[in-house]
């Protein structure tokens, strides 16, 4: 049975896709009478099936070598596009995480979207996302990874734009689509540039090729940079990070999915491409630099936000930056571990704050407060999510960060400093959020804030337990770094940075020593971080401005030059007719003159050989 399920594990994406399709009939325009809720239930059932299937398959595939399955898709002259599927413990494990998180997010959405009529659309898009992500982790071919990434980009556009009657949603969905699309298009250039070099798009063959490849360093650098640009946009890395901020306009349950797994889709491709990318030291340094800048910048920005969803979204960017650093420094396993621990912890954080927003309406942390005594479950979930994300010893994030820092210690000591700093800053920002939401006195918006009902608490609690058990699971699977060979200095540094960040933040935000709202001595710096380094303005004066000006210029060229030339032909004909009609003068004598002139010229032309040369001699 388990073996059969393992062999058919490639059906898992189809469950979610079928669930998504089955949700469509409950759109308000089709089933008009009974309400949209069955859409959610159908999707839950399908996702549960997918979860059970992949979980049993994971057991069967554990400690077995990876298998490859090939499904022919298209074969034309000289190009054989075969869908390669990898069934390994990593890919099936990733599917368990995806389906599990999606299952929890869908239960959460049953509660959160209670008063919404758009469940059909919402759940069909969640199904699409689940299918796309499962297909992405199964897919062992760069080309089809790209195909799936593009489908997911379209899915992001539709899902962020769920409540399209809000103007900020429309602009957010637009930015999310275009920013990710630009990255994807660069990725396409890289994918196409890789073909003539490697002759294959299958990841294992690419890795084999990369071991012995001897290519022009400039070419492989350019191809590598293009390949990095796709994940850069997907993972919301600087400078393609604004979309994640604006995507927070979308519904909360999809944010759970986005913050935990969707942004990791880019990281997944990046990890798979790591052998190719490390062919060029420039690309490796570029990945590390982008990751480092985003990690530091994102965690600084997260501290300065007042919108609770955006606080979390910048932390996501920062952690994806750490994944970039890990990939750039060839720490694949650390990157995968980081993606896993970040996914569960970030999902728990978003669920907790989602419940808070559902009952307190405002997302502004300065208007929240004093919820700890009345919302202990959400508060505990937030604490555990925080501790699971930062380097707090027994929990998952600690091990991932430790593995990363330990791996970097020997090769890039200064990157360890960045990891430590990001850990401290994230600890600071998460404790700040906790202090502002749960600590202090109740504000007007949180005067009466009951705990949410069970469909939102249940997934939160399941995930809560999962985050707590993650280290045990990792230990059982012997994925934790060996304590004996670890560098104790790194451990201490990590723990100290956590304690440092948490305690400073607690002192500032959980006590009344410093009056709130806090003003930095330099208002410019505070605004700079709060407004995300003024990235929208930066986009507006660089890319958007130049593209807009170019478009206007091209439009003018089209209107005046191209259209003008063609219109001139017509106008010329028109004026020719208008002008030449005066040759019909109405004077018979003029006609006679014309006839005579015609006859004369024709006669002269016909008889030219008989007199022309003598005439010319005479004249000249």
Binding site for another protein (CB under 8 A): 581-582, 584-590, 592-593, 596
CB of residue 583 to another protein, shortest distance in Å: 8
Q: Indicate the residue among 476 and 593 with the shorter CB distance to another protein.
A: 593
Give the nearer residue to another protein in terms of CB position, either 520 or 593. 593
Q: What angle do CA 225, 228, 234 make, to 5 degrees?
A: 145
C-alpha triplet 374, 376, 379: angle, nearest 5°: 115
Q: In the structure, how many helices (H) and strands (E) does the chain have?
A: 27, 2
Terminal Cα-to-Cα distance of the chain (whole angstroms): 109
Measured between alpha carbons, how far is 589 from 388 in angstroms, rounded to an integer?
A: 106
Residue 492 or 575 having the CB closest to another protein? 575
Closer CB to another protein, 567 or 585, in the complex: 585
Q: Which residue has tokens 């400690």?
A: 63
CB nearer another protein, residue 216 or residue 578: 578
∠ Cα 258 183 139 (to 5°): 65
By beta-carbon proximity to another protein, the closer residue of 518 and 592 is 592
Tell me whether residue 572 or residue 591 sits nearer to another protein (CB atom): 591
Q: In the bound complex, what is the minimum distance in angstroms from residue 561's beta carbon to another protein? A: 34
Q: Using CA atoms in the order 100, 104, 105, 111, what is the torsion angle rounded to 10 degrees?
A: 160
To another protein, the closest distance from the beta carbon of 605 in angstroms equals 19
Rounded CA-CA distance 317/296 in Å is: 10
Both tokens of residue 177? 């689509």
Q: Least CB distance from residue 614 to another protein, whole Å? A: 16
CB of 603 to another protein, least distance (A): 12
Residue 567 C-beta: closest distance to another protein, Å: 25
Choose between 65 and 586: whose C-beta lies nearer to another protein.
586
3-state SS, one letter per residue, for 357-415: HHHHCCCEHHHCCCCCCCCHHHHHHHHHHHHHHCCCCCCHHHHHHHHHHHHHHHHCHHH
Q: What is the DSSP string of 15-64?
A: HHHHHHHHHGGGSTTTS-SS-SHHHHHHHHHHHHHHHHHHHHHHHHHTTS
CB–CB of 38/117 below 8 Å?
no
Q: What sign for the dihedral angle of Cα 316, 492, 474, 383?
A: negative
């Amino acid at each position: 049975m388990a073996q059969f399920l393992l062999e058919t594990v490639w059906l898992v994406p189809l469950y979610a896709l079928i669930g998504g399709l089955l949700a469509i009939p409950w759109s308000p325009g089709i089933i008009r009478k009974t309400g949209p809720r069955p859409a959610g239930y159908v999707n839950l059932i399908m996702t549960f099936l997918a979860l059970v299937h992949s979980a049993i398959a994971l057991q069967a595939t554990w400690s077995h070598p990876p298998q490859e399955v090939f499904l022919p898709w298209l074969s034309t002259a000289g190009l054989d596009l075969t869908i390669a599927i990898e069934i390994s413990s990593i890919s099936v494990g990733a599917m368990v995480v995806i389906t599990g998180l999606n299952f929890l997010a869908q239960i959460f959405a049953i509660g959160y979207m209670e008063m919404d009529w758009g469940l059909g659309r919402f759940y069909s898009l969640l199904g699409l996302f689940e299918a796309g992500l499962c297909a992405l982790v199964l897919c062992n071919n760069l080309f089809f990874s790209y195909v799936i990434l593009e489908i997911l980009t379209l899915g992001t556009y539709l899902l962020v734009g769920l409540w399209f009657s809000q103007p900020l949603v429309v602009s957010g969905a637009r930015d999310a689509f275009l920013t990710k699309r630009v990255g994807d298009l660069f990725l396409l250039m890289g994918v196409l540039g890789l073909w003539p070099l490697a002759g294959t798009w299958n990841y294992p063959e690419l890795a084999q090729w990369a071991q012995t490849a001897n290519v022009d360093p400039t070419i492989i650098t350019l191809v590598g940079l293009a390949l990095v640009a796709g994940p850069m946009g997907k993972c919301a890395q600087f400078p393609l990070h604004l979309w994640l901020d604006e995507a927070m306009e979308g519904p909360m349950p999809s944010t759970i999915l986005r913050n935990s797994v969707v942004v990791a889709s880019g990281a997944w491709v990046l990890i798979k491409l790591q052998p190719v990318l490390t062919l060029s030291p420039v690309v490796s340094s570029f990945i590390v630099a982008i990751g480092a800048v985003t990690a530091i910048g994102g965690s600084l920005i997260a501290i300065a936000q007042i919108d609770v969803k955006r606080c979390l979204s910048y932390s996501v960017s920062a952690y994806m930056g750490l994944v970039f650093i890990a990939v750039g420094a060839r720490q694949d396993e650390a990157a995968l571990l980081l993606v896993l621990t970040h996914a569960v912890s970030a999902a728990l954080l978003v669920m907790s704050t989602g419940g808070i927003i559902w009952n307190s309406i405002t997302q502004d942390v300065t208007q929240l407060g004093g919820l700890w005594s009345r919302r202990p479950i959400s508060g505990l979930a937030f604490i555990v999510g925080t501790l699971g994300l930062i380097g707090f010893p027994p929990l998952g994030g600690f091990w991932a960060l430790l593995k990363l820092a330990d791996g970097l210690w020997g090769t890039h000591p200064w990157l360890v400093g960045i990891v430590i700093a990001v850990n401290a800053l994230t600890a600071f920002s998460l404790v700040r959020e906790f202090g502002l939401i749960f600590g202090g006195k109740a504000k007007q918006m949180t005067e009466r804030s009951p705990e949410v009902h069970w469909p939102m608490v249940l997934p939160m609690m399941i995930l809560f337990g999962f985050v707590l058990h993650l280290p045990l699971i990792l230990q059982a699977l012997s994925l934790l770094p060996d304590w004996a060979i670890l560098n104790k200095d790194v451990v201490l540094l990590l723990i100290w940075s956590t304690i440092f960040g948490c305690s400073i933040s607690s002192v500032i935000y959980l006590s009344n020593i410093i009056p709130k709202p806090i003003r930095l001595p330099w208002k410019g710096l505070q605004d700079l971080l709060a407004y995300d380094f003024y990235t929208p303005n930066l986009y507006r004066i660089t890319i958007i401005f130049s593209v807009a000006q170019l478009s206007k210029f091209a439009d003018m060229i089209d209107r005046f030059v191209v259209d003008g030339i063609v219109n001139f032909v017509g106008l010329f004909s028109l004026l020719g007719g208008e002008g030449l009609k005066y040759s019909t003068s109405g004077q018979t004598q003029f006609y006679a003159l014309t006839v005579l002139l015609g006859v004369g010229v024709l006669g002269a032309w016909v008889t030219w050989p008989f007199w022309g040369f003598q005439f010319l001699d005479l004249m000249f």
